Amino acid sequence: MAATSPLPRWAPTPSLSRPLWRWGWGGGATPDARADGGVTGWTSSFFAAVFPWTRRRRVDDRWAPSAGGGVGTFDGVEVPLPAAQAVSLPRAAADVVDDPAVFLTWEDVRVTVPGRIRGSPPARILDGITGHARPGEVLAIMGPSGCGKTTLLDTLAGRLGPEMNQTGVILINGRQEKLAFGTSAYVTQDNVLMSTLSVREAVYYSAHLQLPDTMLASEKRAHAERVIREMGLSDTMDTRIGGRITKGISGGQRKRMSICIEMLTRPRLLFLDEPTSGLDSAASYHVMSHITRVAAREGMTVIAAVHQPSGDVFDLFHGLLLLAYGRMVFFGTVSNATEFFTQSGFPCPHQRNPSDHFLRTINKDFDEGTMESSKANRKTAAEATNILTNAYHSSTYSEKTANEIGGTPFRRKEQASFLTKLLVLTRRSFLNMHRDIGYYWMRLGIYLGIGICLGTIFYQVGYSYSSIQSRCEVIMYTTALVTFMAIGGFPSFVEDIKLFRRERLSGHYGVMEFVISNTLSATPYLAVIAVIPGAMMYYLTGLTRGAEHFAYFVATLCMCTLLVESMMMIIAVIVPDFLMGIIIGAGIQGMMMLNGGFFRLPNELPKPVWKYPCYYISFHKYAVQGFYKNEFIGLSFPSDQLIEANATISGLQVLKERLQVELGYSKWVNLAILFGMMVTYRMIFFVIVKIAEELRLKLRGIRFRRLK
């Protein structure tokens, strides 16, 4: 079925001009464009970011500084080449065709969720929504709160939750295709950003993650600064974003930052969820006017869910999809919307913002306020909505969107390599942990306080018979209390998981890069937390002397801390709520602690459940027994003089007869088991996230196959 309205002219026009971005992407870059002082590929991005002296400014006329002060990188504007230079272009560059535009259509889209009460019918969120979005235009989705604007955006972007059921047809250039990286971007309503970074740093790191290795580090920085300036954030470039601890940029500036990050790759399809929320009228107009200009200039398809735009912002939209409680009231051009309301008996009063009038007419949350039609009949908003819905479906405004709209299949844009992403994420995470007072510095202070307390209370326990019990207590407190404090990093884990989910859905990087980079960046901090307080406790209490014994002590303490953090990451991805996560993490550690072999000796534990399997899956068991072996093997103590005078007891006897330690393997095996448990927990985290992702993709594929 052909569309009743003509298709937009979005096919590229051949000319001797080239889009600047094409020279920075793979496949079209010339050898000299990939050179940067001898450092190429991922090394260019990493070394230029870490070592500023490796950066070299280009003097090539093709990369001369632009008027904005930055290196001339891709901004989507086609710049004519001088005649001499155009003639010398290589054939591959002269024949470059821009990425095809995206024509998005959807027909009879319905979304339901299961009823809250068993046996109740499913709740309908969207009911038969049909429409299309054209390249170079901005389509506004409007309606009262709770009408399904965000749900429609999530449906079109393939981000519906697993509990939602979708039917209908969604086509991209006439095909059922997945949205590949660089083709689409989604700016969520919630601004999920790394609070410890400045605006400049956050956009820089995102540029290094999204843009390909064939692009120079200086070009990435120049493009990032240009996007920051376009969003009016020049004055806040070096201001930290801020969050739960420190005050940073405003909420409106955070919204503009979120748009900045998603527009770095100049996607062909852009979804915006409440892009003007938190912005004043002037900022809303400037942001939306910039997005409108970029969309028109580059053939970008923009779909924005807007709650209540100002009159100036409303005039920027090309199309309007008006929803009322899951039903489509109107779809068409903005100019036709006013005419439609007038013909339906609800004209817009003189000098009133049309968007305000539309929303006031169909908002039935306050139905005691009645709407007035042109016939002077007073009608409720529910009645007005029914009249408008029926009028739309029976009028000439209701255009059937074409099921088959031809277009060129788009291709996945090139992005940074795995190693580049890993290095950038590690460096960003390292910087975040360094600046996060709650994650590192406060915990270090608490660990130092605990070390001083334990060291002074058990100061120089000596080698008497009673020192056996004192050494066991020091080991128990070290294993239990110090590792228990590792749950203090849970709030930071929750924020990291939120940021990871947003960036993962946008295709910035994968689960593997996140897990490895988080481990690499956290290990140095946890090592310092283990070494400094561990040294204080070890030497103040007078435990067994020797470099090997001390090294094993701090290595085991560090491994336990890493293990607990890995366990808390699993809890954070399953239970993202802060309070519930802390309670669950503390409860699991408390249960492991009880089965660790100290409060109750291993042979005295009830065999069902507590001995098998809880005792063997508790990391406290391997940590405590490793500490015991490290401490007692090689020592001897005088026996209890009340039982046997002038006799000694060896450390091996203490381990075997009194502490019931398993002596069939060395202490290093205990440390290796702890390391294996830490790796296992990280792998479990990886598997959980991957399963959730695969489930989402599978459900999305099922939804695409469900025709009306």
What is the reported pLDDT for 493?
A: 85
Q: Is 575 contained in some domain?
A: yes
In this structure, the answer to whether residues 387 and 427 fall within a common structural domain is no
Domain ranges, residue 391: 136-146+180-365+380-396
**DSSP E strands, 576-640:** 608-609, 612-613, 636-638
Asked if 270 and 302 touch (Cβ cutoff 8 Å), the reply is yes
In this structure, the answer to whether residues 286 and 339 fall within a common structural domain is yes
Q: Is 533 contained in some domain?
A: yes
Average pLDDT of the chain is 78
Q: Are strands 165-172 and 612-613 parallel, antiparallel or unpaired?
A: unpaired
Q: Which of 94-103, 111-120, 275-284, 582-591 has the lowest mean pLDDT?
A: 94-103
Positive or negative, the CA dihedral 250, 253, 255, 258 is: negative
In this structure, the answer to whether residues 422 and 392 fall within a common structural domain is no
Residue whose token pair is 């899956």: 617
For residue 121, what pLDDT band results from cuts at 50, 70 and 90? confident
CA dihedral 622, 624, 625, 626 (to 10 degrees): 80
In this structure, the answer to whether residues 568 and 672 fall within a common structural domain is yes
In this structure, the answer to whether residues 504 and 630 fall within a common structural domain is yes
Q: Which of 26-30, 117-121, 387-391, 601-605 has the lowest mean pLDDT?
A: 26-30
Token duo for residue 114: 């299961």
Whole-angstrom distance between the N-terminal and C-terminal Cα of the chain?
Answer: 16
Summarize pLDDT for 458-504 with one digit per residue, the tens: 999 999 888 999 999 999 998 888 778 878 778 888 888 889 988 88
Q: Is 107 contained in some domain?
A: no
What are residue 151's phi and psi, to 5 degrees? -60, -40
In degrees, to the nearest 5, what angle opens at C-alpha 300 toward C-alphas 296 and 305? 100
Query: Mean of the pLDDT values across residues 112-122?
Result: 78
Residue 9 pLDDT exceeds 80: no
In this structure, the answer to whether residues 689 and 617 fall within a common structural domain is yes
In degrees, to the nearest 5, what angle opens at C-alpha 581 toward C-alphas 578 and 583? 110
In this structure, the answer to whether residues 444 and 508 fall within a common structural domain is yes
Token duo for residue 552: 């094993």
User: Between 15 and 578, whose confidence is greater?
Assistant: 578
- Classified as helix, coil or strand, 468 is helix
Query: Mean of the pLDDT values across residues 403-432?
Result: 77
What is the reported pLDDT for 376?
A: 43
What is the reported pLDDT for 204?
A: 94
Q: Is 167 contained in some domain?
A: no
Asked if 407 and 100 touch (Cβ cutoff 8 Å), the reply is yes
Q: CA–CA separation, 234 vs 223, rounded Å? A: 13
Task: Kindly give the residue spans of alpha helices, DSSP state H, lying in 134-280.
Answer: 149-157, 199-210, 217-230, 251-262
What is the reported pLDDT for 302?
A: 94
In this structure, the answer to whether residues 388 and 438 fall within a common structural domain is no
- Classified as helix, coil or strand, 176 is coil
Q: Is 219 contained in some domain?
A: yes
Summarize pLDDT for 326-367 with one digit per residue, the tens: 888 999 888 888 888 888 888 888 878 888 888 888 887 665
Residue 630 pLDDT exceeds 90: yes
In this structure, the answer to whether residues 519 and 441 fall within a common structural domain is yes
Residue 181 pLDDT exceeds 90: no
User: Between 247 and 58, whose confidence is greater?
Assistant: 247
For residue 271, what pLDDT band results from cuts at 50, 70 and 90? very high
Positive or negative, the CA dihedral 590, 591, 594, 597 is: negative
Residue 15 pLDDT exceeds 70: no
Omega prior to 409 cis, within 30 of 0? no
Rounded to whole angstroms, what are the CA distances from 54 to 217, 441, 463? 10, 32, 58
Q: Which of 48-52, 386-390, 595-599, 638-642 has the lowest mean pLDDT?
A: 48-52
Positive or negative, the CA dihedral 691, 696, 697, 701 is: positive
What is the reported pLDDT for 424?
A: 94
> Could you tell me which of 701, 700, 708 has the C-alpha nearest to residue 160?
700
In this structure, the answer to whether residues 391 and 426 fall within a common structural domain is no
Q: Is 169 contained in some domain?
A: no
- Classified as helix, coil or strand, 449 is helix
Residue whose token pair is 């979804």: 271
Question: Looking at beta carbons, which pairs linking 53-60 to residues 24 or more positions away fall under 8 Å?
Answer: 55/217, 55/218, 56/218, 57/218, 58/216, 58/218, 60/32, 60/33
> What CATH number did the domain enclosing 310 receive?
3.40.50.300
Q: CA–CA separation, 514 vs 504, rounded Å? A: 9
Listed ranges 64-78, 139-153, 380-394, 474-488; the one with the highest mean pLDDT: 139-153
Summarize pLDDT for 639-698 with one digit per residue, the tens: 876 566 668 889 999 999 889 999 999 999 999 999 999 999 999 999 988 887 776 655
Number of domains in the chain: 2
Q: Is 17 contained in some domain?
A: no
For residue 61, what pLDDT band results from cuts at 50, 70 and 90? very low
In this structure, the answer to whether residues 225 and 340 fall within a common structural domain is yes
Token duo for residue 306: 């807007």
For residue 410, what pLDDT band results from cuts at 50, 70 and 90? low
Q: CA–CA separation, 261 vs 507, rounded Å? A: 12
DSSP string of 274-321?
A: STTTT--HHHHHHHHHHHHHHHHHHT-EEEEE-SS--HHHHTT-SEEE
What is the reported pLDDT for 140?
A: 94
**What's the farthest any 2 CA atoms get from each other in the chain?**
113
Predicted TM-score of the model (pTM) = 0.76
What is the reported pLDDT for 695?
A: 66
Query: Mean of the pLDDT values across residues 445-451?
Result: 89
Positive or negative, the CA dihedral 58, 64, 70, 74 is: negative
What is the reported pLDDT for 667?
A: 95
In this structure, the answer to whether residues 316 and 230 fall within a common structural domain is yes
Q: Are strands 301-305 and 269-273 parallel, antiparallel or unpaired?
A: parallel
Q: Are strands 612-613 and 636-638 parallel, antiparallel or unpaired?
A: unpaired
Q: Is 10 contained in some domain?
A: no
Residue 579 pLDDT exceeds 70: yes
